[in-house]
C-alpha cells in the first residue's frame, strides 16, 4: 500500500481554529468548526486502520476535491487497486440513528442528510470522469461509519455501509483482491490528484475578522493563553503541554501569516502578535532562520 496523497487539515479548519482561540465565534461558526474537527478526527482514525491493515498493492488517495463540468464532488478516501476503485465517504456520527424509506434521522426524530444519497452522486461523477479518460474500473462505494458508538436501526444488508466493527475485516478482505498494480493505476491516480482543487468557491468561507478584535499573545494548541515562558521552552498551565520557544514562535508566525497575508512580517509585528511575551532578539533570530529577509535595518521584513 502506498499513500500518494496524505490527508491534511483544510485551510478552513485551520483558520477557524485560529480564530476560535482569539475571538468568540458565533454559534453557527462554532458548530461548523466542531463538525469539521469531528469529521477530521474520524478520517484520521480511518487512515490509521488503513496503514495497519491494508498491506496489498494499492494506492491510497485522501481528500480529493474535484470539479468536472460544473459538478463539484469530494472524496474522503479512495483506494486504487488493479481493477477496482474503493470509494469511502467517512462519517463520524455518534449515537442512535434510524433509516426509514431512505431517510436518515436520529432516533429522537430529527432528520439529517442521508450520506448514501451523497455517495451515490459522488460514485456516479467519479464513474463519468474515469470513463471520459477512457479507463475502465469497477467502483465500489461505501459510507463508512467510523465511530463505535454509532448505531443504525433499520439498515438493510444491501445498503452500501461499513460499520466500525466491520472496517478491519473489510480491509483485510481487500488485500486478497489486490493484484499487481499497472501503469494505468498510477496514471489514473496522478490524473485525479492533478484535478484536485485546494479551495473551492462552493465551500464555506472564514467569517470576517479584524486584527483589533483578536486577542494577541502566545497560545497553546489547547486554546489556553496561560503559558509559562522560560529562556528555551514554554509550558501550558492548562494541558501541561511543553514546547520549545522555537516551536511556539514558528506556530505564531504561521498563524499571523495565515490570518493577515497582506501584512508585512517584521520583528515588531510578531512581537506585538505574541503579546510582547518573547524576547525581541529571539523573534528576530527565528525569522532570520526560517524566512527570507528583505529590506534593511528597521525596514526589514520577512517572507
Ligand atoms: Zn495547553
Tell me: the pLDDT tens digits for 153-171?
A: 999 999 999 999 999 999 9
Report how far ligand 1's centroid is from the alpha carbon of 225 (Å).
8
Report how far ligand 1's centroid is from the alpha carbon of 287 (Å).
24
Q: Is the pLDDT of residue 201 over 70?
A: no
Report how far ligand 1's centroid is from the alpha carbon of 284 (Å).
25
Report how far ligand 1's centroid is from the alpha carbon of 239 (Å).
4
Residue 225's pLDDT band, with cuts at 50, 70 and 90, is very high
* Contact (CB, 8 A) for 198 and 208: no
Report how far ligand 1's centroid is from the alpha carbon of 242 (Å).
8
Cα separation, 157 vs 10, whole angstroms = 34
Report how far ligand 1's centroid is from the alpha carbon of 33 (Å).
19
pLDDT at 296: 85
Grid-cell match 497560545, residue found: 219
Closest residue by Cα to residue 271 from 293, 291, 256: 256
Closest residue by Cα to residue 89 from 160, 159, 4, 15: 160
Is residue 154 helix, strand or coil? coil
What are the residue boundaries of the structural domains of the chain, listed by start? 2-195, 216-302
Amino acid at each position: 500500500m502506498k499513500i500518494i496523497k496524505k490527508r491534511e487539515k483544510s485551510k478552513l479548519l485551520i483558520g477557524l481554529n485560529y480564530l476560535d482561540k482569539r475571538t468568540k465565534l458565533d454559534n453557527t461558526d462554532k458548530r461548523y468548526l466542531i463538525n469539521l474537527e469531528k469529521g477530521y478526527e474520524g478520517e484520521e482514525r480511518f487512515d490509521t486502520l488503513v496503514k495497519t491493515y491494508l498491506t496489498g498493492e494499492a494506492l491510497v488517495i485522501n481528500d480529493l476535491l474535484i470539479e468536472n463540468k460544473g459538478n463539484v464532488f469530494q472524496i474522503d478516501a479512495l483506494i486504487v487497486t488493479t481493477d477496482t476503485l474503493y470509494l469511502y465517504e467517512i462519517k463520524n456520527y455518534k449515537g442512535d440513528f434510524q433509516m426509514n424509506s431512505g431517510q436518515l434521522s436520529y432516533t429522537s426524530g430529527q432528520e439529517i442528510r442521508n450520506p448514501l444519497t451523497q455517495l451515490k452522486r459522488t460514485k456516479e461523477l467519479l464513474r463519468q470522469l474515469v470513463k471520459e479518460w477512457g479507463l475502465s474500473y469497477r467502483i465500489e462505494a461505501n459510507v463508512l461509519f467510523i465511530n463505535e458508538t454509532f448505531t443504525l436501526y433499520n439498515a438493510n444488508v444491501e445498503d452500501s455501509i461499513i460499520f466500525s466493527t466491520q472496517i478491519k475485516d473489510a480491509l483485510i478482505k481487500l488485500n486478497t483482491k489486490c493484484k499487481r498494480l499497472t501503469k494505468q493505476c498510477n496514471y489514473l491516480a496522478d490524473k485525479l490528484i492533478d484535478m484536485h482543487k485546494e479551495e473551492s468557491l462552493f465551500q464555506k468561507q472564514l467569517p470576517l475578522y479584524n486584527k483589533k478584535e483578536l486577542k494577541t499573545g502566545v497560545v497553546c494548541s489547547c486554546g489556553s493563553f496561560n503559558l509559562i515562558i522560560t529562556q528555551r521552552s514554554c509550558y501550558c498551565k492548562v494541558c501541561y503541554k511543553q514546547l520549545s520557544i522555537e516551536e511556539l514562535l514558528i506556530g505564531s508566525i504561521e498563524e499571523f501569516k495565515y490570518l493577515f497575508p497582506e501584512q508585512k512580517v517584521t520583528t515588531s509585528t510578531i512581537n506585538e502578535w505574541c503579546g510582547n511575551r518573547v524576547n525581541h532578539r529571539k523573534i528576530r533570530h527565528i525569522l532570520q532562520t526560517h524566512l527570507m529577509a528583505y529590506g534593511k535595518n528597521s525596514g526589514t521584513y520577512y517572507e
